[in-house]
Amino acid sequence: MRIAIVGAGALGLYYGAMLQRAGNDVSFILRRDYEAIRTNGLHVYSVDGDFHLERVKGYKTASEIGEVDLVIVGLKTFANHMFGELISPLVGKQTIIVTLQNGLGNEEALATHFGADRIIGGVAFLCANRGVPGVVHHLGEGRIIIGEYHGNEIGRVSTLAGIFNDSGIPCRAVAELKKARWEKLVWNIPFNGICALMGRTVDILLRHQETRKLIFDIMIEVIDAGNAQDVKEKIKPQFAENLIAFSEGLGPYKPSMLIDRMEGRQLELEAILKIPLTLAKESGVHMPKVEELYALLDLSETENKV
Amino acid sequence: MRIAIVGAGALGLYYGAMLQRAGNDVSFILRRDYEAIRTNGLHVYSVDGDFHLERVKGYKTASEIGEVDLVIVGLKTFANHMFGELISPLVGKQTIIVTLQNGLGNEEALATHFGADRIIGGVAFLCANRGVPGVVHHLGEGRIIIGEYHGNEIGRVSTLAGIFNDSGIPCRAVAELKKARWEKLVWNIPFNGICALMGRTVDILLRHQETRKLIFDIMIEVIDAGNAQDVKEKIKPQFAENLIAFSEGLGPYKPSMLIDRMEGRQLELEAILKIPLTLAKESGVHMPKVEELYALLDLSETENKV
């Protein structure tokens, strides 16, 4: 299968490497890692075993790649305005586009550009960071849940799930992705948000009783908002407690938004906080603590610090 | 009148200077400004006109001063555990102690040490910063509201108000101070809290729509909590809007908690946020946004930043 990875951060590099190792024909659009990968290939340091791909197809532009069967989008959501430029040359009649991006609004944006029919949504539960150029660290997890953006056909996503599973990426096809999206937000909103705002890792947040309580409160707000989104199966409040217990195991983990902040990148506030806030409000759910977190993060993006 | 100033930050220096200029016998307990004031006196740069006190009684300890008629406490609240050491030598049979400190819990702590009868509470609305040693900047405002801690006798506080007024410090004596304390918290909690947390001045917070909205929401929470404290006259919601309009005029003002943060001092979280949160809870009022602000500020006091 011809696959193109658009947005080759930690997520794109890791999943692309797994798919290539399993025999797929994978091309990456690269920026920071271009030289390193062209010269030395791609190193994956993984909790499941390290491996090295000696020859990796890395390109600077999509037009060098041309049409593919599958586009995997791992782009930072604040770069969604570049969808046209980065993806159009890859899209032929049969091309499927899967977004594994954070937060909400990505399928919609892709559908506007390329038509709803070819869009598949995905939610990735992956702990990975980039290392030096040419290196990606897989710290844990990795499973993906995918579902059609348009309608609830299960056939095509099941086939795609097979390709991921055959590559060692646990993948489940579902008829409705919405619940999984909101479940991921239940983690992403408090941990990405507070870690980035405060410049602290996951373990410090959890060690600190007041913040731990705040995380729990935010999780409950997000669960209530998610459950108001016309999902078939509700997220249970117990999910918050389980997620906090799970996060204990992450240690001094840096969520992607903290890394974005540390490396001077923009934060994914729109997809991870603002759109969920808007949807919650539209469905009559008030999320005061998420609202405050968003306001402070948004302020933190302005540079006028004393 | 023999007056001692305990806690000679911007507030203590300014009010002490005003009282001395009017002819009172004022002694200051000094730390940072000791050398400068002993050598060059005290310079007040004020919106109401600059002045210079050539000879100022500055001491390092209270025992050098001995008993006085009036102790004015301007200490940072996180130093309240030093009340015994800093104030005891100043207290004789007739000595009155007025606290002009921020937040809640100060009268109670003073009463525990020195008896409730001699304690007078005060709320100062003052915009002042310290300059280089020996210099205090009075940027605006300055009025004080005072009231008995114990009971609602108005006689003694009226006399004291007269002394302040005679010194050019607008002062009003009230039978109940609680409302004024909470009114000050309506400003202090959002502006001190957010400015310190985010390292931004008042004008930046107000320019930023999301934060402006957050400030308003927090103000309403504090007003509701204050009104639940068995105050005779309620604070009106309109007070929040007026306060925001007033704050527009402050420009790039740095609230005291932001200055504390910039100068590496502890933050007055207990007096300004934690005690109000506890009292609100006890009276059945939930302040979710204040709670979040407190959790984040409390976290910000831990040093483990990445």
- The pLDDT value recorded for residue A207 is 95
CA atoms within 13 A on the CB side of A178: 19
- Substitution target in B201, B215, B292 with the highest count of A β-carbons within 10 Å is B292
Please indicate, yes or no, whether residues A72 and A149 belong to a single structural domain of this protein.
Answer: yes
User: By the CB < 8 Å criterion, does B79 face chain A?
Assistant: no
Percent helix / strand / coil, chain A, rounded to 5: 50, 20, 30
- Substitution target in B219, B260, B294, B299 with the highest count of A β-carbons within 10 Å is B299
Please compute the mean of the pLDDT values over residues A172-187 and round it to a whole number.
Answer: 94
Please compute the mean of the pLDDT values over residues A70-87 and round it to a whole number.
Answer: 96
CA distance B101 to chain A (A): 25
Please indicate, yes or no, whether residues B19 and B161 belong to a single structural domain of this protein.
Answer: yes
Select from B75, B127, B78 the least CA-distant residue to B99. B75
Judge whether B137 and B20 are in contact, CB under 8 Å.
Answer: no
Please indicate, yes or no, whether residues A118 and A237 belong to a single structural domain of this protein.
Answer: no
Task: Identify the segments of chain B with pLDDT beneath 50.
Answer: none
- The pLDDT value recorded for residue B239 is 97
User: By the CB < 8 Å criterion, does A82 face chain B?
Assistant: no
Query: Is residue A1 helix, strand or coil?
Result: coil
User: By the CB < 8 Å criterion, does A303 face chain B?
Assistant: no
Please indicate, yes or no, whether residues A55 and A98 belong to a single structural domain of this protein.
Answer: yes
For chains A and B, count residue pairs whose Cβ atoms are closer than 8 Å: 97
At residue A88, does pLDDT exceed 80?
yes
- Where do we find the tokens 């798919």? A19
The mean of the pLDDT values for chain A is: 96
The one-letter code for the residue type at B72 is I
Please indicate, yes or no, whether residues A164 and A204 belong to a single structural domain of this protein.
Answer: no
Please indicate, yes or no, whether residues A159 and A11 belong to a single structural domain of this protein.
Answer: yes
The enclosing H or E element of A163 equals helix A155-166
- The pLDDT value recorded for residue B152 is 80
- The pLDDT value recorded for residue A303 is 72
The domain that holds A265 is classified in CATH as: 1.10.1040.10
Please indicate, yes or no, whether residues A41 and A98 belong to a single structural domain of this protein.
Answer: yes
Percent of chain A with pLDDT over 70: 100
Please indicate, yes or no, whether residues B149 and B239 belong to a single structural domain of this protein.
Answer: no
**pLDDT per position as a tens digit, A258-271:** 999 999 999 999 99
Q: Which residues of A touch B201 (CB under 8 A)?
A: 304, 306
Judge whether B3 and B68 are in contact, CB under 8 Å.
Answer: yes
Which of A148, A175, A202 is where one domain is finished?
A: A175
Please indicate, yes or no, whether residues B294 and B247 belong to a single structural domain of this protein.
Answer: yes
Q: Specify the DSSP class assigned to residue A64.
A: G
Q: How far apart are the first and last CA of chain B?
A: 53
Beta bridge partners of B107: none
pTM, two decimal places: 0.92
User: By the CB < 8 Å criterion, does B151 face chain A?
Assistant: no
At residue A306, does pLDDT exceed 90?
no
Please compute the mean of the pLDDT values over residues A233-239 and round it to a whole number.
Answer: 95
Residues of the domain holding A70? 2-175
Chain A residue closest in CA terms to B212: A295
Q: Which residues of A touch B199 (CB under 8 A)?
A: 305-306
Q: Which of B211, B217, B302 sits opposite A299 (nearest CB)?
A: B211
Please indicate, yes or no, whether residues B41 and B171 belong to a single structural domain of this protein.
Answer: yes
Please indicate, yes or no, whether residues B15 and B146 belong to a single structural domain of this protein.
Answer: yes
- The pLDDT value recorded for residue B248 is 95
CA gap A265, A270 in Å, rounded = 14
**pLDDT per position as a tens digit, A137-160:** 999 999 999 999 988 889 999 999
Give ipTM to 2 decimals. Answer: 0.90
Total of domains in chain A:
2
**pLDDT per position as a tens digit, A15-44:** 999 999 999 999 999 999 999 999 999 999
Which of A118, A151, A175 is where one domain is finished?
A: A175
Percent of chain A with pLDDT over 90: 95
Please indicate, yes or no, whether residues A167 and A277 belong to a single structural domain of this protein.
Answer: no
- The pLDDT value recorded for residue A151 is 80
CA distance A200 to chain B (A): 5
Question: CB within 8 A of A280, min separation 6: which ones?
Answer: A221, A225, A228, A286, A287, A290
Which of A155, A175, A195 is where one domain is finished?
A: A175
CA distance B295 to chain A (A): 5
CA atoms within 13 A on the CB side of A40: 10
SS (H, E, C) chain B: CEEEEECCCHHHHHHHHHHHHCCCEEEEECCCCHHHHHHHCEEEEECCCCEEECCCEEECCHHHCCCEEEEEECCCHHHHHHHHHHHHHHEEEEEEEEECCCCCCHHHHHHHHHCHHHEEEEEEEEEEEECCCCEEEEEEEEEEEEEECCCCCCHHHHHHHHHHHHCCCCEEECCCCHHHHHHHHHHHHHHHHHHHHHCCCHHHHHHCHHHHHHHHHHHHHHHHHHHCCCCCCCCCCHHHHHHHHHHHCCCCCCCHHHHHHHCCCCCCHHHHHHHHHHHHHHCCCCCHHHHHHHHHHHHHCCCCCC
The one-letter code for the residue type at A284 is G
The domain that holds A155 is classified in CATH as: 3.40.50.720
Chain B residue closest in CA terms to A207: B299
Query: Is residue A224 helix, strand or coil?
Result: helix
Beta bridge partners of A99: A73, A121
- The pLDDT value recorded for residue B304 is 78
**How many Cβ atoms are within 10 Å of A131's Cβ, its own excluded?**
14
